[in-house]
Copies of this chain bind each other. A is one copy, B any other.
């Protein structure tokens, strides 16, 4: 059994390669929910949806999120009612949010149970677990004030300088059922190429998760989200800078050094190998940029090769 810690687009790309070379049933994915947001009264879980849509083969690959070929007629009408429409919600995509919100508020189900229902209906055999069923919100403290992560990223285009990041709920949020067990009992835990602050950092902030990673006998292996000093996608550079970190692969490895065994470094950053090895972390240098499905499978093979050598 393999467990992965995942954010959105980068993780989804990597995992869509991984499921081509292992059985879906072998994989458990623990997903960041710090980005979750309520809009128009609907509960939206962006990272969970990116993963389910990607693994179900219905994602809009060009954007990395949403459903391929989706239309936006409902959102246009919501605008007519004066609703804010800075967060793009497609008509098909809305069904997921309506269904999730219905099960949360009317049936009283937990997000983890709902996520497994969504997976079942999309015919996915991977196990996708939100990091927590409890309220959790990533807030970005910027020079322009503090705001929800989605407001920072989507509404304001990650333009404001970041002073700090707060995880509202981290003090009380419990890991969702299965999260700790899946880490303790895994053969390997893969830290996906996701934002180390607001995707992986969020997951690690939930009580007990970081400790279980330290305790687990699994091979803990991270794939770099940084290539040549920049994130492949998203605002990781701005957030790392804002928190006083160097924007580099080795700075990411450093954030995981208390539990990490292996770090997958991009060829472009091979110069950082020694710095990471100094933390007692084994380094494998390979091409990590995933453009084609072949790239994704190749990278997954390198990771799996290290796990099962």
Chain A residues near B (Cβ < 8 Å): 40-42, 67, 70-71, 73-78, 80-83, 91-96, 98-99, 101-102, 105-106, 117-118, 121-122
Q: Which listed residue (B41, B95, B105) contacts A77, Cβ 8 A?
A: B95
Closest to A71 in B: B73
Contact B95 A74 (CB under 8 A): yes
Tell me the bound Cα distance from A98 to B79 in angstroms.
12
Minimum Cβ distance to chain B for residue A216 (Å) = 34
Q: Judge whether B40 and A81 touch: CB under 8 Å.
A: no
Which residue of the partner chain, among B41, B70, B71, B96, contacts A106 with CB atoms under 8 Å?
B41
Contact indicator B81/A95 (Cβ below 8 Å): yes
Question: Quick check: A41 and B102 within 8 Å, CB to CB?
Answer: yes
| Pairwise interchain contact A121-B80, C-beta atoms closer than 8 A | yes
The listed residue (B76, B80, B105, B118) touching A41 by CB distance below 8 A is B105
Q: Which of B67, B81, B102, B122 contacts A118 (CB 8 A)?
A: B81
Once the chains are docked, how many angstroms separate the CA of A83 from the CA of B114? 13
Say yes or no: A95 contacts B122, CB within 8 Å.
no
CB pairs A–B below 8 angstroms (17 shown): A40-B99, A41-B106, A42-B98, A74-B92, A74-B95, A75-B95, A76-B92, A76-B95, A77-B94, A78-B95, A78-B98, A81-B95, A81-B96, A81-B99, A81-B117, A81-B118, A98-B98
Known contacts A41-B106, A121-B81; A74/B99 CB under 8 A = no
A93 vs B81: C-alpha distance when bound (angstroms): 12
* Distance, CA A177 to CA B76, complexed state (A): 31
Q: Chain B contacts of A94 at CB under 8 A?
A: 74, 77, 91, 94, 98
Q: In the complex the two chains form, what is the Cα distance from A93 to B92 in whole Å?
A: 14
Q: CB < 8 Å: which of B91, B93, B95 contacts A80?
A: B95
Q: Looking at A42, A81, A98, which has the most chain B CB atoms within 10 Å of its CB?
A: A98
* Contact for A121 among B75, B82, B98, B105, CB less than 8 A: B82
Q: Closest Cβ of chain B: how far from A192's Cβ, in Å?
A: 26
In the complex, the chain B residue whose C-beta lies closest to that of A41 is B102
Picked from B40, B71, B118, the residue with its CB within 8 Å of the CB of A91 is B71
A114 to chain B, nearest CB (A): 10
Residue of B nearest to A72 (CB): B91
Q: Please give, as numbers and ranges, the residues of chain B lying within 8 Å of A75 by CB-CB distance.
A: 95
- Residues of B close to A82: CB separation below 8 A: 121
Counting chain B CB atoms within 10 Å of each CB, the highest count among A91, A94, A117 belongs to A91
